[in-house]
Amino acid sequence: MEFETVIGLEVHVQVSTNSKMFCGCSSDYASAPPNTHVCPICLGMPGVLPVINSEAVRKTIMTGLALGAEIPQFNKFDRKNYIYPDLMKGYQVSQYDLPMALGGHVDIEVDGETRRVGITRVHLEEDTARLSHGSGYSLVDVNRSGVPLMEIVSEPDLRSPQEAREFLIEMRRILRYIGASNANMEEGQFRCDANVSQRSTDGTVVGAKVEIKNMNSFRAVERALIYEVSRQRSVLEAGEVVTQETRGWSDATGETLGQRSKEFAHDYRYFPEPDLPPLEISREQVADIEASMPELPQARRVRFVEAFGLSVQDSAVLTDEAVVADYYERAISAAGGHHREVANWLTGDVFALARARGGFGEVRLTPDHLADIVVMVRSGEINAQVGKEILGIADESGKSPRDIVEERGLRQESDVDLVSSAVAEAIAANPAAVADFRAGKQAAIGFLIGQVMRAMKGRGNPAVVRQEMTKQLHQSE
């Protein structure tokens, strides 16, 4: 029997705001000592009244618009009742039947084909505290409790673990582009639960849906789904029934483990949050937010190919992060074009610099500096080797590449008399290589040119050096 995999994702995203969702406490929980960014509201004290964070609402609406979702005019917050050891109130303020955004989609590319994945809803809620477990005890850090959290629920349109991974990558890219979240998985700002089931291609067998939790990287999501797909198919092929449950992913053992039976919406006993008024989002507010939206990554990828003549692959690399795409556009503007040369330098030497420094944000070489290097190499003022040297010096010192060229005398030498003299010296000093060339070994001329470039400390114009070397070798035959 053949089976088809059905996957839906629930993506939990911390919204980038200065304060928490319902109080004025700082949302910067990661760098603070435990239980210092707290107040009576996020500590769940009786009698306190929450206040809605307007910036969190704005960024959630922006996310809905980026996904092509409908922004309903009315929405409200609800109480989600559950045994929460990591929420002081014992319930979570979330949204149920009237969320911030409805519908929408994300387009992903897998194996050269574009797939459209539907979005069910985007709603806003509060994050939980952090638990640390020891031997026989647990500690609670309330700093994270109350941080604004979006939940983005996909339709069950994904058909493979690879598609799920690509969906998450594109979703994180969109969120970062619009500034809704930093979406760092390693810091818990971007988390995912997956619902996966199997159905036979002839429709005779439909397996129960299983939820998978505790996946903290794209690789973990893909590995967990690969394992769970295989497990469920083995169960069904043996004529047994897949149990509807919640399972946790163990990265160490590479398997999913049963945790509890799956809850349903009615288990949470949702009811409208009595301490918060319903929200009315005017059409003018939505229009203002939409007008402030930046260009989205998919549109930018297409534009880079069509406007700048880049390959699809180069365009994808350059638009992966908005900061890199912005850098590229500023550099080509300063260089007066030269789109491909700037792209080559950026994805090669500047990316290498970023890796060495620990991230693109740590690069001090400005777009104007890169533009100067590209223009000077193209014009023959310096050669590519010197350009690479200058790039590193400019990044370290912050000086203009043109100033560095002047200060260090690095301008490329095209004076035929000087090059001719250096070529004659190289020929005289390397008779074996000259003999090899005359014997038909063309590689020997490369060695001789290298000797000239070394003698001229890399400042010889390679084209002039090669022309003069060829001329003198044939003259001396």
3-state SS of the chain is CCEEEEEEEEEEEECCCCECCCCCCECCCCCCCCCCCCCCCCCCCCCCCCCCCHHHHHHHHHHHHHCCCECCCEECCEEEECCCCCCCCCEEEECCCCCCEECCEEEEEECCEEEEEEEEEEEEEECCCEEEECCCCEEEEHHHCCCEEEEEEECCCECCHHHHHHHHHHHHHHHHHHCCCCCCHHHCCEEEEEEEEEEECCCCCECCCEEEEEECCHHHHHHHHHHHHHHHHHHHHCCCCCCCEEEEEECCCCEEEEEEECCCHHHHCCEECCCCCCEECCHHHHHHHHHCCCCCHHHHHHHHHHHHCCCHHHHHHHCCCHHHHHHHHHHHHHHCCCHHHHHHHHHHHHHHHHHHHCCHHHCCCCHHHHHHHHHHHHHCCCCHHHHHHHHHHHHHHCCCHHHHHHHHCCCCECCHHHHHHHHHHHHHHCHHHHHHHHCCCCHHHHHHHHHHHHHCCCCECHHHHHHHHHHHHHHCC
Q: Do residues 345 and 376 make contact, with C-beta atoms less than 8 angstroms apart?
A: no
CA-wise closest residue to 142 among 16, 11, 273, 23: 23
Phi and psi torsions of 154, nearest 5°: -90, 160
Boundaries of every domain in the chain? 3-285, 297-408, 416-475
Mean pLDDT of the chain: 91
Q: pLDDT at residue 90 above 70?
A: yes
pLDDT in tens, 5-54: 999 999 999 999 999 999 999 999 988 999 999 999 999 999 999 999 99
What's residue 249's pLDDT?
94
Mean pLDDT in residue range 313-334: 96
Per-residue pLDDT band at 414 (split at 50, 70, 90): low
Of the spans 249-253, 381-385, 432-436, which averages the highest pLDDT? Answer: 249-253
User: What's 416-475's CATH class?
Assistant: mainly alpha
> pLDDT at position 476, please?
62
pLDDT, tens only, 277-305: 999 999 999 999 999 999 999 999 999 99
Own/partner pairs for 37-44, CB < 8 Å, 24+ apart? Answer: 37/143, 38/142, 38/143, 38/145, 41/146, 42/88, 42/142, 42/145, 42/146, 43/88, 43/142, 44/87, 44/88, 44/89, 44/90
Residue 424 scores a pLDDT above 90: no
pLDDT above 80 for 66: yes
pLDDT at position 205 is 82
Return the closest-CA partner of residue 166 out of 215, 118, 117: 117
Task: Average the pLDDT over each of 82-86, 374-378, 430-434 and give the range with the smallest value.
Answer: 82-86
- For the cut 80, the answer to whether the pLDDT of residue 386 exceeds it is yes
Cα–Cα dist 4/17, whole Å = 41
Does residue 327 register a pLDDT over 90? yes
Q: Please report the pLDDT score of residue 370 as a whole number.
A: 97
Of 303-307, 384-388, 390-394, the one with minimum mean pLDDT is 384-388
pLDDT of residue 116: 96
Specify the higher pLDDT residue, 6 or 89.
6
Position with higher pLDDT, 84 vs 118:
118
Confidence at residue 419, expressed as pLDDT on a 0 to 100 scale: 75
pLDDT band at 413 (very low <50, low <70, confident <90, very high): low
- 466 vs 153 pLDDT, higher one: 153
Q: What is the pLDDT of residue 263?
A: 63
Question: What does the pLDDT look like over 92-123, one tens digit per residue?
Answer: 999 999 999 999 999 999 988 899 999 999 99
Residue 363 or 1, more confident: 363
Strand-pair partners of 382 = none
Res. 363: pLDDT tops 60 = yes
The percent of residues above 70 in pLDDT, for the chain, comes to 97
242, 235 in Cβ contact below 8 A?
yes
Q: Which residue has the tokens 């070397």?
A: 469
pLDDT at site 375: 94
Q: How confident is the model at residue 234 (pLDDT cuts 50, 70, 90)?
A: very high
Residue type, 335: A
Residue 316 has pLDDT above 70, yes or no: yes
Q: Quote the pLDDT of residue 226.
A: 97
pTM, entire model: 0.85
pLDDT digits (tens, 9 = 90+) for 129-141: 999 989 999 999 9
Task: Select the more confidently predicted residue: 381 or 352.
Answer: 352
Mean pLDDT of 141-150: 96
pLDDT the model gives residue 435: 81
